[in-house]
Structure 1
Amino acid sequence: MDSEHLFCLFCGCPVPKHYDTFREENLNFSKGRPQFVPSDDENFHKRDEITIQLVDCPNCRNVSIDIIGKGRQFRNRIMNFNPISLAKSYPNYIPLTIREDYEEAHAILNLSPKASATLSRRCLQGMIRDFWQVSKRSLSDEIEAINDLVDPSTRKVLDALRKIGNIGAHPEKDINLIVDIEPLEAHKLLKFIELLMQKWYIERHDNETLLQDILDMDTNKQSQRKPKNS
């Protein structure tokens, strides 16, 4: 959360980083007992400590809370305290491996946005292989194979997600070149994965359920018909 804009863990909206929306406090044992110290106070010995960050979203009025560990023992670990998980719960007719990749991508969103983007890429590939029954040498080839099955705008974003996910999956040719992915950017990739879950799996399931309900209704009505009296 070092940039000038944060993002709300509840609604995903950007939140400007200033006094009214952002708080950060440190909890440590530097004075022999746990104590909250303002994060900008440099007059104490920093050891292993916990940093609590709060973001008050002006859009949805929810307060996001992250707990960040610093020092030798905690190794910069981040835990979402509120909300505990950003991941939506999806039905079992979506394959377990896809749901697990999606949930893990959410779990590490703040800890490693680059790794989260890589998992979104993996999630996308799993969805293409399962939903469209397409398996090629690479994700690029698989996206090309469904080119005529999706609308042009979706096709472009599929390829964009693939390329962004590659930043985390593959090192740059120049090892001194560092391309970062921000949490808000990784969050948008997950929102796109959620859109595909809705458009591909949930809408298909709902449509099939509706059609089957109508067929069952027809069967039931036909069984109730009586022959006309002659």
Structure 2
Amino acid sequence: MDPSKLFCLFCGCSVPNHNDTFREDEHYFLIRRPHFASEENFSDKITIQTMNCPNCHKVSIDIVGVGSQFPNRITHFNPISLAKAYPDYIPQTIRSDYEEAHAILNLSPKASATLSRRCLQGMIRDFWGISKARLVDEIDALKDIVDPSTKKVLDALRKLGNIGAHPEKDINLIVDIEPNEAHLLLKFIELLMQKWYIERHDNKQLLQDILDLDKDKQNQRRSKNS
């Protein structure tokens, strides 16, 4: 958590930073053995960040590693991931791949990227009704449907997911994906969820609400004229 920009991982609300909502506790491994301790030893520590949301009253806990042994490692203890809760009209398999990709984001960024790739393929097949032998062919089939920049990013996500899904020709070549890079892919998946599924649902709902309103008003006119 960034103490300057606190928001609840459960309900998404902004949380003010004071002693009743946010606390940090630091733990050093050699704190009880000062004769072994040095400035270098004290650079390795675990920080437990606890936040109590005044809106939903749920407690978020992050474990943050600092120092050479835990470079920039953050573990979400509660909740275990930052995955958003999506409505049931998005297929369960797509939501499951997305949630699992979030859950393993820090443990295995490569595996997370692979699941984002799988999530993308599921969305193309379900939303657009395009199903081919290879994902690259499915993305090419979208070239006249989505804008060119979106197609480029779709293809980039596919190739990044391939890093985790397929070994390199040279088995000694290691190409890593960092957690922040895998998180970018998940942010793009969330963008597609919004632009494809949620906006379509909201548009349909708006049109239906207007039709229902018109039907109600016409019934009122007929009842008054009868």
Compute the displacement of 1:39 (Å).
10
Question: Which residue is equivalent to 1:156?
Answer: 152
Structure 2 distance, partners of 1:228, 1:24, is: 73
Answer yes or no: is 1:52 the counterpart of 2:49.
no
1:130 maps to 126
Conserved 8 A contact 2:26-2:47: yes
1:120 aligns with 2:116: yes
Q: CA deviation at 1:80?
A: 1.7
Residue 11 of structure 2: aligned partner: none
Q: What amino acid sits opposite 1:172 in the alignment?
A: E
For structure 2, the 5+ residue unaligned runs are 9-24, 50-59, 66-73
TM-score by length of 1: 0.69
Distance 1:39 1:154 in 2: 49
Report matched runs for 1:20-59 at 5 Å: 25=27, 40-41=40-41, 52-53=46-47
Work out the CA distance in 2 between the residues paired with 1:140 and 1:82.
37
1:52 and 1:65 in contact (8 A); partners too: no
Task: Give the TM-score normalised by structure 2.
Answer: 0.70
RMSD value, Cα: 3.4
Q: In structure 1, how many angstroms separate the alpha carbons of the residues matched to 2:113 and 2:78?
A: 22
Using the TM superposition, give the Cα deviation of residue 212 of structure 1 relative to its aligned residue in structure 2, in angstroms.
0.5
Who is 1:140 aligned against?
A: 136
Distance 1:147 1:26, change over 3 A: farther
- In structure 1, the residue matched to 2:80 is 84
| Aligned equivalent of 2:184 | 188
Q: Deviations along 1:121-171, whole A, 9 cap, x unmatched?
A: 000000000000110001000001111111111010000000000000000
Matched with 1:104 is 100
Q: Tell whether the 8 Å contact from 1:10 to 1:86 is kept in structure 2 after alignment.
A: no
Q: CA deviation at 1:53?
A: 4.8
Q: Aligned-pair distance for 1:81?
A: 2.0
Identity among equivalent pairs (%): 72
Residue 63 of structure 2 aligns to a residue whose secondary structure is strand
Deviation at 1:117, TM superposition (A): 0.4
Inter-CA distance 38–150: structure 2 relative to 1 (3 Å threshold) = farther
Q: Which blocks of at least 5 consecutive residues in structure 1 are unaligned? A: 1-7, 12-22, 32-36, 43-50, 56-62, 69-77
Residue 38 and residue 127 in structure 1: after superposition, are their counterparts in 2 closer, same or farther (change >3 A)? farther
Aligned residues: 183
Give the 3-state SS of the residue equivalent to 2:222 in structure 1.
Answer: coil
Deviation at 1:66, TM superposition (A): 2.9
Contact 1:128–1:142 (CA under 8 A) maintained in structure 2: yes
C-alpha distance in 2, partners of 1:94/1:38?
Answer: 54
